[in-house]
Structure 1
């Protein structure tokens, strides 16, 4: 048993390394793309495409069938299962294209901009193309092998960046963002067959087996899409495309810095939790250890990104994007804190509790949507942002209760696990605020760059120092600090 557990642990660690490398490439590419596009385009271009892209994501979520997860969860999937998964995915892509094209005139009328019609049609064609991806890649995930995810993510994101920046540089048009999205879909499909050259065929033999798992996950995906993107539709309706551009870029930058940092670990944990779902003690121990790491990564990144947003935006984007700074700050913090809720979804899916996850998402939506509408109507965009932050905190509380129910991890144990991270982040924020308030500079000129570097250095030193001090005061308990100390000890004992 211990050898098998060790093998699973090694595969999870290796998979996390591959996924971390993939996310690093994706994040850096996304940051470079955002910086370049922000300089080549105007905020209104981002706002216009954001409306169409948000609607596409909602339609995509309505038709989501979670076919890869269904293939992973099957004990012994057959060729017919993979053929059926590809067929359902292809039919779903065509459905998305038809729905987006048919609804484009109505959407353009609602938002008063006829440019949305061709944008939605082209994005629908891209979604149809994405439905042709190779379903056999799920075999890798079943075996906790994730190098193919690195190839797929890198190929798709690099294509997105190259196409979008090239079109933006030549045409300086919002079509650059659309072209990048379609290019990303095309690259994903091509790369999937290069990784595993196995062609599927049309078949619906196993559609009942696949959809029996997918029905609740599909409903949950729809609710999640509304939870995640409905605010952009509200901003597009109550404000100008320029304001929506500020909101969209601020939202995406905060998401890029926080949620994407923790995504590699979350992706590996669904198959890992599924492998030990019947061993409750192991499952609880695995959950708390992974949760500790996830929060230790996500929260300081989110808080730190909020602390450096003020000098970072005018330095890398352009002073014209300064109105996006408070949006970045609010979302970066709440997205970082939501790392506390990040592992409940793979845990629930591994245990087959997809209906419970759907009810959680629906409950959050029923609270978030009225609050966002009220906030937007009364206070505009600031009110909408405040509503998202408050409901994000509520979502964290719900996730902690679900972790207690599914994995048997008490609320006090979860709080004790996260306390060092939260205290260290508070210390980091106070230190950075103090340094920023002094206006200290090493030399004249390059004020924004000096301010950014100073904030990063002070924040990093204070966060790590606070964690080490807390660990010593608490009696050197098990955790990240103990693992780091053991690793350093092994390196020191290793012969030269």
Structure 2
């Protein structure tokens, strides 16, 4: 088990590096594109993406999760997954083409027809991705996964920005998405020697596991994109663009940074098998997420006003309250994303479906209530309210499966929660004092103060608690090891 934990730890480092690179490029790309394009451009692409996501549900069986969870997966399993992915991908591509005109009528947006046709091409290309790359995660080969992500992202980044500078329209976004999908397919074959063949030999076995994942993914789509249809239909492309960019920026440091941890934890849990071992690892990761990732999301909420004014510009001012609310919601979401990995690794995918169903059952009434009163900002309130309910549900399910106590979970999160609360309140007070200062000075002062205050509070609480083992100890140890590695070696002078 120690070897698996060490592999998971190395995997987290590689995946965090890959995700940091991926999302750092994504942040820069989004910030530059918001200066070159208008909210309506993002909203138009979001409309087409939502329709594509709806068609994706036809094949959203998460067969890759089945391959990872199945310890003795054979070639026939991989070939069957590739065949299904190919068929479902091509059907989705055809569906985008056929729905192009009806979607344009639904949204009252004539430009959407051409956008949907290009999206169909993107889906058609992606259908041919080599299923062999799943072995990177299955065998904990996360260095390969890092290269796979980095090359694709860098290529897409430079092409999209160049196209946006020249075209100044949504076509730059579509061009970047097309090339990114093409690079993804090419890399999947050049980096992995597996060559898939058409086969449905393992269809029955795969469907037995993945039928629950289909339901869960359908509910996940409603959870993530359900309000996209509502906002696009009621408020139009401009408002949808503001919402989609607000969601992306507010969730980048939380859901995106925690995603690599989950990519590592799922195959690691699957190899562990024993619930008591998984419980220990789960609580450790929960503490790490609360310590390192939650403060980033809450910090964005605290500096939302100077952040938007400085980085996005005046045409995005409507995004300020939405980013602040969604950032807090994203921070809460980050603490719960590891639960699904536990449930699926233990062969209980039906739990994912049930919990997602509860989330959607709360979300849509909340969306109707808050949007009707607060406009697109109401979507943020709805997600925050639903996420608070979801935390209680998910933690209870995981606690029941792994048999840990509420006290053990509270021990790993109370210091980070107290730390982020203190940080948020102080930064908000400071920002009110600096409101007349230059925007860049205001943003940098708020951010630096928040980081220093959080670190000092965490360190003080940890020492007051007797320096218990956990995320703080792990993080300090990592900082010390990096410092020691970079510190020049002391010369030893010979007595002669």
TM-score, structure 1 as length reference: 0.94
Do residues 7 (structure 1) and 3 (structure 2) align?
yes
Offset of 1:489 from its aligned partner?
7.5
Separation in 1 of the partners of 2:102 and 2:209? 34
Matches of 2:478 and 2:212, distance apart in 1: 43
Please state how far the C-alpha of 1:226 moved relative to its aligned partner: 0.8
Which 4+ residue blocks in structure 1 deviate beyond 4 angstroms?
Answer: 484-496
Is the 2:278–2:402 contact (alpha carbons within 8 Å) kept by the matching residues of 1?
yes
User: Which of the numbers 426, 450, 475 marks the counterpart of 2:466?
Assistant: 475
Counterpart contact for 1:151–1:191, Cα < 8 Å: no
Contact 1:292 1:418 in 2 (8 A): yes
Alignment-derived partner of residue 317 in structure 2: 322
Residue 121 (structure 1) aligns with: 117
User: Is the CA contact 1:234–1:373 (under 8 Å) kept in the aligned structure 2?
Assistant: no
Matches within 5 A, 1:361-376: 361-376=356-371
Q: Extract unaligned runs of 5+ from structure 1.
A: none
Conserved in 2, the CA contact under 8 Å of 1:62 and 1:221?
no
For 1:414 and 1:259, how far apart are their aligned partners in 2?
20
1: distance between equivalents of 2:299 and 2:98? 44
Could you report, residue by residue, the CA deviation over 1:407-431 in whole angstroms, capped at 9, with x for unpaired residues?
1122232223211011000111122
Instruction: State whether structure 2 residue 425 is matched by structure 1 residue 430.
Output: yes
- The 5 Å alignment of 1:343-422 reads 343-422=338-417
1:346 and 1:114 map into 2 onto residues whose CA distance is 42
Match of 2:246 in 1: 250
Equivalent position of 1:268 in the other structure: 264
Which residue is equivalent to 2:494? Answer: none
Residue 40 of structure 1 is matched in structure 2 by 36
Gaps of 5+ in 2: 491-496
Three-state SS of the structure 2 residue aligned to 1:342 is helix
Instruction: Give the equivalent residue in structure 1 for 2:206.
Output: 210
Task: Note closer, same or farther for the CA distance 1:413–1:108 as it changes in structure 2 (3 Å cut).
Answer: same
Q: Deviations over 1:175-226 (max 9, x none)?
A: 1112222222111111111111332121111122222211111211111011
Measured in 2, the distance between the counterparts of 1:486 and 1:270 equals 25
Question: In 2, Cα distance between the equivalents of 1:72 and 1:481?
Answer: 31
What is the total number of aligned residue pairs between the two structures? 487
- Find 1:333's aligned residue among 328, 332, 346: 328
Which deviations, in whole Å up to 9, do the C-alpha atoms of 1:208-253 show, x marking residues without a partner?
Answer: 2222211111211111011011112111111132121111111111
Q: C-alpha displacement at 1:41, in angstroms?
A: 0.8
Aligned residue number for residue 299 of structure 1: 294
1:51 aligns with 2:42: no
- Give the whole-Å Cα distance in 2 for the aligned partners of 1:69 and 1:456: 38
Question: In the TM superposition, what is the alpha-carbon distance from 1:486 to its structure 2 partner?
Answer: 5.2
- Name 1:455's counterpart in structure 2: 446
Corresponding residue of 2:108: 112
Alpha-carbon distance in structure 2 between the residues aligned to 1:153 and 1:34: 18
The Cα shift of 1:272 comes to: 0.8
Kindly report the root-mean-square deviation, in angstroms, between the aligned alpha carbons of the 2 structures.
2.0
Could you tell me how far apart the structure 1 residues matched to 2:428 and 2:363 are?
Answer: 31
TM-score for both structures, normalised by structure 2? 0.94
Contact map agreement 1:283 1:407 (CA 8 A) in 2: yes
- Which residue of the other structure, out of 308, 313, 320, is the alignment partner of 2:308? 313
Secondary structure at the aligned position of 2:140 is classed as: coil
Shift of 1:58: 2.5
Q: CA deviation at 1:488?
A: 7.0
Kindly state the Cα deviation for residue 54 of structure 1 after the two structures are TM-superposed.
1.5
Q: Which shifted more, 150-159 or 92-101? A: 150-159
